[in-house]
Amino acid sequence: MITCAVLLTGRYFYKGGYTAREWGICLITNVLNTVVTYVGFWLFSKGWIVIGLETSWQILVDFIFLFVAMDLLMYVFHIIIHKTFLYKAVHQLHHEAIDPRPIDLFVLHPVETIGFGSLWLSLLMVYGFNIYAIIIYLVVNVIFGLAGHLGIEPLPEKLRQWPVIKYLGTSTFHHDHHQDLQHNFGFYTSIWDRLFNTYR
Ligand SMILES: [Zn+2]
Ligand SMILES: [Zn+2]
């Protein structure tokens, strides 16, 4: 359902078609993401993942924590799959797209999909996040993923210079990563790239 929502929204920006190979990889990514979700549910049923149900300020705190922590974990993971043998073996597939389009969000090597999924489940195992924070985070994650692979920049240049937006991973931010493999390894924000001098 999430993939359909991304691709249908993406059609508004990208009218072209996709190849059978892209559809095939997209399907495999979906199966693996579903497996990750079921593993998460299994961990939850066994008590390894604890989820808070209260509706309080905790929702906002947990969401911000998930957003920043996942951004850092994925930044580190992304650097590793770029700077080691894993680039050729795994991540190069995603970088076949120099001008990414919406489906490229799902054009990932299975190892990469499992890697991101493992980071996600590991984080959920170290702390009992609030369920509403998790849901908001998952929606935001998809929005950023789609934005990064839109192929166009929907936000005007001026808006992108606004105080908080300036530090967010915009369409241009991830599109630039597809054009220049040495920069912009972050996903939701540019703060780690700015801190570790990989920002362009
Ligand atoms: Zn990359
Ligand atoms: Zn990408």
Ligand 1 centroid from CA 72, angstroms: 14
The number of the ligand nearest the C-alpha atom of 187 reads 2
pLDDT band at 117 (very low <50, low <70, confident <90, very high): very high
pLDDT at 15 over 90: no
pLDDT tens per residue, range 43-90:
999 999 999 999 999 999 999 999 999 999 999 999 999 999 999 999
The number of the ligand nearest the C-alpha atom of 108 reads 2
Ligand 2 centroid from CA 63, angstroms: 23
The number of the ligand nearest the C-alpha atom of 97 reads 2
Ligand 1 centroid from CA 90, angstroms: 10
pLDDT of residue 152: 86
The number of the ligand nearest the C-alpha atom of 183 reads 1
The number of the ligand nearest the C-alpha atom of 100 reads 2
Q: Which residues lie closer than 8 Å to 50 by C-beta, 6 or more apart?
A: 44, 128
Answer for the pair 129, 62: CB distance below 8 angstroms, yes or no: yes
For the question of whether the overall pTM of this predicted structure is more than 0.85, the answer is yes
Ligand 1 centroid from CA 46, angstroms: 35
| CA neighbor of 176 nearest in space, from 163, 193, 158, 195 | 193
pLDDT tens per residue, range 132-174:
999 999 999 999 999 999 988 989 899 898 988 999 999 999 9
Ligand 1 centroid from CA 95, angstroms: 6
pLDDT of residue 119: 96
Average confidence score pLDDT of the chain: 95
Ligand 2 centroid from CA 174, angstroms: 6
Answer for the pair 159, 20: CB distance below 8 angstroms, yes or no: no
Tokens of 148: 């990064």
The number of the ligand nearest the C-alpha atom of 82 reads 1
Answer for the pair 149, 174: CB distance below 8 angstroms, yes or no: yes
pLDDT of residue 141: 96
pLDDT at 13 over 90: no
Ligand 1 centroid from CA 169, angstroms: 14
Tokens of 20: 């059978």
